[in-house]
Structure 1
């Protein structure tokens, strides 16, 4: 008999099925974007936690009204991080929480980065407060998990290809299941060391 899956995996599968096909301003759906980001992270040899962060970085969008996205910043990164905080190690939810800040940081330190953003990313950047000033950029880059968030942000920018083929969501379930069972105390101790 197969062991039961963690309830979060079933909830995630349902959320992808019910809301993943919704657009979010790019030429692909939210589910396609998540799968592309995770696939790119996996292909790049990123840590397991960053692969899952890439898969789940926009999970907050799956709980939003798509009609509101063009007019307000609903802070999907905070919602997503809060949703994941009790379920997954800090090395997953912190990059999720920081991926918007990473975009604002990269725009502050690299004008070519900002010029290369997709139209939808430029629109959301304006709603999210624009590029950081020098002080905010310095504070961001010295924060724990900032480098993982920057990597995640670059994966986010690449994961918008209408012709890219990816594995199905279920491909990532074994890795997600392993991370869901990581002892939170141990995860915190490892992150601090």
Structure 2
């Protein structure tokens, strides 16, 4: 079989879906390479800062590692702006969706909310409320997201900071994005359906 015969999914057979599942599994195995390519592409995205988006991402991850963050959080720091190209107005949610099947819910929640929390530093210049994030103040991961932004994200626009290259982080990218998706070993009891992480990502305390 080279292609399935059905033209509507409801007409597919067990054999056809097994065939497609094999192709999907093989394609999914290439995710680390696609993540690394997407990160490299950040070198030529949003301009105007003293560092490129890639350098900002690398610097954020470097700072996280230097502060003793665990592997999942370092990876999250590395990919937190990976959605800038395709999702400039909700890049946080895109990055969170990418990382969600491979890390604990806390990490996903922080990445999902970091855009809102970053508003604290500049949104008042445009008439916005820098404290809008405070509606989440009772969430158990609120303070960790504050610290993610204060110590790593908003601080990582320094062209003189000794930032590690992407090659340094490549083994970590391959390690975590090669995990079995939604494995309870890494993400706990969350599933692909409605779960505690869906609730947490909506801003309601899990």
Normalised to the residue count of structure 1, the TM-score between the two structures is 0.69
2:111 alignment partner in structure 1:
96
Check if 1:143 corresponds to 2:143. Answer: no
Check if 1:22 corresponds to 2:45. Answer: yes
C-alpha displacement of 1:6: 4.5
Change (3 A) 1:17 1:176: closer
Check if 1:166 corresponds to 2:160. Answer: no
**C-alpha separation in 2, matches of 1:37 and 1:141:** 24
Give 1 or 2 for the bigger CA radius of gyration: 2
Q: Kindly report which structure 2 residues correspond to 1:126-141, keeping only aligned pairs within 5 A, or say none.
A: 126=126, 129-133=128-132, 137=134, 139-141=135-137
Q: Which has the higher contact order (CA 8 A, sep 6+)?
A: 1
What CA RMSD, in Å, does the superposition of the two structures yield over aligned residues?
Answer: 3.0
**C-alpha separation in 1, matches of 2:145 and 2:93:** 13
Q: Which runs of 5+ in 2 are unaligned?
A: 1-27, 191-195, 197-206
Normalised to the residue count of structure 2, the TM-score between the two structures is 0.65
Check if 1:187 corresponds to 2:186. Answer: yes
**C-alpha separation in 2, matches of 1:185 and 1:44:** 27
Task: Answer whether contact 1:88 1:184 (CA < 8 A) is retained.
Answer: no
Whichever structure has more helix as a proportion of its residues is 1
C-alpha displacement of 1:132: 2.9
1:9 alignment partner in structure 2:
32
2:95 alignment partner in structure 1:
80
C-alpha displacement of 1:100: 2.0
> Residue by residue, what CA displacement relative to the aligned partner does 1:94-144 show, whole Å, maximum 9, x if unpaired?
21101123234xx3xxxxxx4xxxxxxx269849x53235xx51x412224
Q: Kindly report which structure 2 residues correspond to 1:38-53, keeping only aligned pairs within 5 A, or say none.
A: 38-53=61-76
2:77 alignment partner in structure 1:
54
**C-alpha separation in 1, matches of 2:37 and 2:93:** 21
Q: Which runs of 5+ in 1 are unaligned?
A: 108-113, 115-121
**C-alpha separation in 1, matches of 2:45 and 2:188:** 38
Please say which of residues 42-51 and 13-22 is displaced more in the overlay: 13-22
Change (3 A) 1:7 1:126: farther
Task: Answer whether contact 1:49 1:91 (CA < 8 A) is retained.
Answer: no
2:148 alignment partner in structure 1:
152
C-alpha displacement of 1:149: 1.5
C-alpha displacement of 1:32: 0.2
